[in-house]
Copies of this chain bind each other. A is one copy, B any other.
Amino acid sequence: MFDNDGTLWSEQPNYVQLVFAIDRVKALAPKHPEWRITQPFQAALEGDLLALRRQGEGGLLKLITATHAGMSTTDYSKIVSEWLSIAVHPTHKRPYTEMVYLPMLEVLSYFKKHGFKNYIVSGGGVEFMRPWSERVYGIPPEQVIGSSIKTKLVSRNGAPELIRLPEINFIDDKGEKPVAIHQFIGRRPIAAFGNSDGDLEMLQWVTAGSGARLGVIIHHTDNEREVAYDRKSSIGRLDKALDEAAIRNWLVVSMQSDWAQIFRK
C-alpha cells in the first residue's frame, strides 16, 4: 500500500490536485461571475493560497465539488490528462508526473517483479490519479484507492454514462484508509508506505497483522533537492507517525541521506 502525495510524488509547495482545482476554477470562472466575490473561489481566482487554506477542509471540498463534478467520468479523465500534459511544477519547471521519486519507482518495480500487487491508497481523488497511474507508476486503475465523489448512471442520447455529482462519497484519509483498503481488497496487506500522519492508521493496521509486516515512512529531510518538512508542516504533517515509527520499528527513510537521487531523470 502506497500513499501518493509526498510518498510517490511531491506534494510541495502544494498538493497537485489543489493546483488542478484552482486552474479549473479559473477555466470555469467566466460562467460563474459570482465566484469573484465568493470564497473559496475568490481566493482560488486570486491565487491566494493562504486565504484558501484559511477556508479549511470545508472550503477545499467546496472547491472540489464545484470543479470536479457535472461531467461524465470519461470527460473528467480527459480533463485531468490534458491538464497534466501542460501543467508545470512552479520551481522545478517539469510536468508533475515527472515529480515522482525515483527510489519509490524502484521499490514499486521490485515488489511487482516479486509477484506483489502494488496499490495506491491516497487522500487524493481516485479519478485524479487513475488516468496516469499505470503510465507513471505501473499501477493499473483498479489498484488505485482514493477519495471519491458520487456518480450516477444516466442515459445520454440513449447511451449509458456515469456522471460525476457534486457530492462527496468518501474521504480516504486517516482511519478511513484501512476502511477503504478492506472495502476494495478484502484482506489486510503486508506492507504500507506513507509520509504523514494521514497514513498513521494505515501503518498501524497493516503492521498489526500476523506474520511478517513492513511499515515505511518517507521522511522529507532534504531542503536542497526537495523540501524539508515534518512536525509543523501544514502540508503532509509528520508528527505522531514519526514518534510511533520508533516504537513500532517502522523503517524511516531519510530522503537526504538515504536517497542518492530523488526525482526521475
Residues of A within 8 A of B (CB): 73, 117, 126-127, 130, 141-142, 144, 148, 151-153, 159-160, 162, 169, 175-176, 178-179, 182-187, 201, 204-205, 208
Check A152/B126 contact, CB under 8 A, given A141-B187, A184-B142, A205-B160.
no
Contact status B201-A142, CB under 8 Å: no
Contact status A153-B178, CB under 8 Å: yes
Alpha-carbon distance A183/B185, docked complex (angstroms): 13
Contact status B153-A186, CB under 8 Å: no
Alpha-carbon distance A179/B141, docked complex (angstroms): 15
Contact status A142-B185, CB under 8 Å: yes
> Which residues in B have their C-beta under 8 angstroms from that of A169?
183
Contact status B201-A179, CB under 8 Å: no
* Chain B residue at minimum C-beta to C-beta distance from A205: B160
User: Number of copies of this chain in the oligomer?
Assistant: 2
Contact status A160-B204, CB under 8 Å: yes
Contact status A160-B186, CB under 8 Å: no
- Select which of B73, B179, B204 is within 8 A of A182 by beta carbon: B73
Check A142/B182 contact, CB under 8 A, given A201-B160, A204-B160.
no
* Chain B residue at minimum C-beta to C-beta distance from A131: B186
> Which residues in B have their C-beta under 8 angstroms from that of A184?
142, 184
Check A208/B142 contact, CB under 8 A, given A151-B183, A178-B153, A183-B151.
no
Contact status A183-B148, CB under 8 Å: yes
Alpha-carbon distance A176/B160, docked complex (angstroms): 12
- Select which of B186, B201, B204 is within 8 A of A126 by beta carbon: B186
> Which residues in B have their C-beta under 8 angstroms from that of A204?
160
> Which residues in B have their C-beta under 8 angstroms from that of A127?
186
> Which residues in B have their C-beta under 8 angstroms from that of A144?
186
- Select which of B117, B152, B176 is within 8 A of A179 by beta carbon: B152
